[in-house]
Structure 1
């Protein structure tokens, strides 16, 4: 994983699997590991206790637990990570569009990815 710091996956057998991104977290402080792990643990808690099976849950219930844990621990769990430099570091596969998008911001036709998967016509943003 090179785009998100962690992920919580609900398994059909009734448990959750939490994965943390070593590439994104390896140069971070232990505090940020803890915050990322607790973020994913909130997702796991909600998956298992609230029948919340979607991984889009940063709603009121998620925030309630996030704020409660932050107050109790002094940590700073957030909804989104700020590891933008690390994410960009791993985006080392670069393509340039040959179409009209080369002329327009914000990317001027450049596509950067962490995996070697060239853009194609099935991309949401791609216009023929």
Structure 2
């Protein structure tokens, strides 16, 4: 799972970096940000929410969260705990992710719960 998430994350980063800024932002936002003095924030806005449905992933969850947080496009990392019986939720919270309990058992329900609490326009699983 960890390898799959890292590959998916690399593909998303490539996609976001190859798209022109105008495709990501409206033209008014681009003009407004060019007038400001802080050009670094204008080049790397937080664009996406990373949602990680997890069930008994205490061994790998911390490294996946840290990998996601390193990227400039990540605005928030949300872990949806699907009633884990290990320390997945505690480790994820300590790593800096938001923790939410899944409303029902299953990956699909966990993904839907993550979409409902996400704050950014783009969502990455």
Per the normalisation by structure 1, the TM-score is: 0.30
Report which of the two structures shows the higher radius of gyration computed on alpha carbons: 1
* Higher helix residue share: 2
Per the normalisation by structure 2, the TM-score is: 0.30
